[in-house]
Structure 1
């Protein structure tokens, strides 16, 4: 099933076309890597989907009911089920791993529910489940500030999973990780993508190769090539703009 459809989207900043007639479809479940040189439009693409940037033209259609995301603000889009992880992890350093996950759990956000929600058995069970999934079960009582860079990245992915998104946008997850952490991250993203859509924006070709998924190459704000990594890296245009530099 197509979960997200971006169709004919363009946006200019001061006369520069950051996104130029971009069209792309993401299925559910699916793991997709989006690659491209600096300035290819990768971040603007994420900004448009999540409501941070309004395009000048085009459509962004979401879900079975084909609703447009373009009229919605960022928090409404998040409620629709889009989660975004930025490059730099943003976790609550002074709180434990467990508390970080508890704060992120999808719960009614009324004034009283926030005070009382943490202690539910269901919530505690879900936290354990997410901790297992991200590989931080042994670190639940540690303060997030004590974690390694890679572990903070996993915690942030866990905090997004706690909100039960249908689509996860992950920006350069491999940056700054040790080889072992990168391997764990690959496995984690592949597992998550079995039940939902995961879009990974990445520079690192080796990391993308390990993801073993469909790749979309952006260049000057539009899709230059799409297919397996082997397929796109043999494409002459891709070699010229991306690998030849």
Structure 2
């Protein structure tokens, strides 16, 4: 399997605290990966580095077939290169309908002339319907986004990211605050997305991670502590000591 993202020997300190310590991580082009670990393990900082929000003190972050350095790109350029990130709290345009939110998110030229003159085509509406069906909101297209449940807003935001056709999707604690039925639907959305792109899910909920049925990376003190199936990492003595035994 070809490597899409390679993080190699990356370290970063904040005020003398080493948030990431010689971290190496790689993910393939169409792969689901769960990242777990205690608070302060470096999970959010790892995502900040990949998306250009935080610059490491040392190491390399290489992207796609040409092994481009993400460290030389701005946050906007990294997003354009195909890296999408979903934060914990959903951010959708609440006064706009589900359809309007998805139309706004479609991958289009972003210059101001293009934006001002944009009129959705029938192909755009067709793509939006496909996305809405994929995230379980096919019947909710005319609804105002502010009326949606917490779980539905999360799905809409995932749909908005998918509309930008990312090659890597970073998702932070998608199951938080969801009903069991919503969590099941979220699992299905992410598993489907990972068939055609890389999906990295940071999550605390072990039941949710088990449903994803994927390789798990455990971070501790900014480094990889263990990697493998969920059963493999949860039977690792070091993982039990630092994370599961709490």
Q: 5+ unaligned residues in a row in structure 2: which ranges?
A: none
Structural mapping, 1:44-83, within 5 Å: 44-83=45-84
Q: Give the drift of 1:118.
A: 3.8
Q: Give the drift of 1:114.
A: 1.8
Q: Give the drift of 1:119.
A: 2.1
Contact 1:102 1:118 in 2 (8 A): no
Identify the residue that residue 233 of structure 2 maps to in structure 1.
232
Q: Give the drift of 1:112.
A: 3.4
Identify the residue that residue 185 of structure 2 maps to in structure 1.
184
Contact 1:29 1:197 in 2 (8 A): yes
Identify the residue that residue 213 of structure 2 maps to in structure 1.
212
Contact 2:103 2:120 in 1 (8 A): no
Contact 1:6 1:24 in 2 (8 A): yes
Question: Following the alignment from structure 2 to structure 1, what is the Cα–Cα distance between the partners of residues 220 and 234?
Answer: 14
Superposed structure 1 runs of 4+ greater than 6 Å apart: none
Instruction: Give the structure-2-normalised TM-score.
Output: 0.98
SS of the residue 1:164 aligns to: coil
Q: Give the drift of 1:110.
A: 2.7
Q: 5+ unaligned residues in a row in structure 1: which ranges?
A: none
SS of the residue 1:70 aligns to: helix
Identify the residue that residue 121 of structure 2 maps to in structure 1.
120
Contact 1:97 1:139 in 2 (8 A): yes
Is it true that 1:20 corresponds to 2:21 in the alignment?
Answer: yes
- What number of residue pairs does the alignment pair up? 245
Identify the residue that residue 133 of structure 2 maps to in structure 1.
132
Q: Give the drift of 1:111.
A: 2.8
Contact 1:7 1:59 in 2 (8 A): yes
Contact 1:4 1:62 in 2 (8 A): yes
Question: Following the alignment from structure 1 to structure 2, what is the Cα–Cα distance between the partners of residues 215 and 86?
Answer: 20
Is it true that 1:166 corresponds to 2:184 in the alignment?
Answer: no
Question: Following the alignment from structure 1 to structure 2, what is the Cα–Cα distance between the partners of residues 186 and 178?
Answer: 12
SS of the residue 1:119 aligns to: coil
Question: Following the alignment from structure 1 to structure 2, what is the Cα–Cα distance between the partners of residues 103 and 182?
Answer: 26
Higher mean alpha-carbon deviation, 110-119 vs 27-36, is at 110-119
Identify the residue that residue 245 of structure 2 maps to in structure 1.
244
Question: Following the alignment from structure 1 to structure 2, what is the Cα–Cα distance between the partners of residues 58 and 113?
Answer: 38
1:39-98 C-alpha deviation (Å, 9 max, x unpaired): 000000000000000000000000001000001111000000000000000000000000
Instruction: Give the structure-1-normalised TM-score.
Output: 0.99
